[in-house]
Amino acid sequence: MNEKTLLRTAIIGTITAALCCFTPVLVIVFGVMGLSALVGYLDYVLLPALGIFVLLTIYALWRKRNNA
């Protein structure tokens, strides 16, 4: 995977995870779909995903800087 694709994927993942963590986007969507019982488990998925995507973004930036 080249640096540009890796960086783009990492940034899109970070932004998506951050929006879902810090705004009630998924709470509203799950409520509309009738899955509001799962809202309590979102933190177990979203916070690690946010951490992974932030680390992936840092790695992609580091890799791009070293290869440039």
pTM of structure: 0.82
What is the pLDDT, as a whole number, of residue 62? Answer: 94
**Hey, what are 29's tokens?**
């969507």
Q: What is the pLDDT of residues 4-49, one digit of tens each?
A: 899 999 999 999 999 888 888 888 888 999 998 988 888 899 999 9
Tell me the torsion sign for CA atoms 27, 30, 17, 12: negative
How far is the CA of 30 from the CAs of 2, 36, 54, in angstroms?
35, 5, 25
Distance, in Å, from the CA atom of 23 to the CA atom of 62, rounded to the nearest integer, reads 29
pLDDT at 1 over 80: no
